[in-house]
Structure 1
């Protein structure tokens, strides 16, 4: 019976550049998703005429966009 375990000397090497690019893409996707969430919450705060929530959310959106 053959051993199906991966031999560490034969495993593919992790390309640092590819890992960094993947991390950047993931970060951008998460930021875009959070921005959309905040926009929806801002719209809701406007509908509810909740000034404090609106100000808090717009500040959060500004901070997220600055990153």
Structure 2
């Protein structure tokens, strides 16, 4: 018969949750950094009148915004 303890340590679950939370925070920070970078690159492509670069960057920005 299995024993179920109310105060049993749950460290493996806590570590998994902490790892997932850390990964989510890092993913969000990276995404926000890349979005800021793309905005700057879009401004530069507009100044340089580089249509191809502008279209590529706006497409990348759309993809990031969907996720």
Same structural fold, with TM-score higher than 0.5 when normalized by the shorter chain = yes
* Structure 1 stretches of at least 4 aligned residues deviating more than 6 Å after TM superposition: none
Question: Unpaired segments of 5 or more residues in structure 1?
Answer: 1-11
Deviation at 1:64, TM superposition (A): 1.0
Equivalence map 1:12-27=2 (5 Å): 15-27=15-27
* Counterpart-to-counterpart distance in 2, 1:27 and 1:33: 10
Alignment root-mean-square deviation, CA? 1.4
Aligned residue pairs: how many? 56
Question: Unpaired segments of 5 or more residues in structure 2?
Answer: 1-10
TM-score under structure 1 length normalisation: 0.77
TM-score under structure 2 length normalisation: 0.77
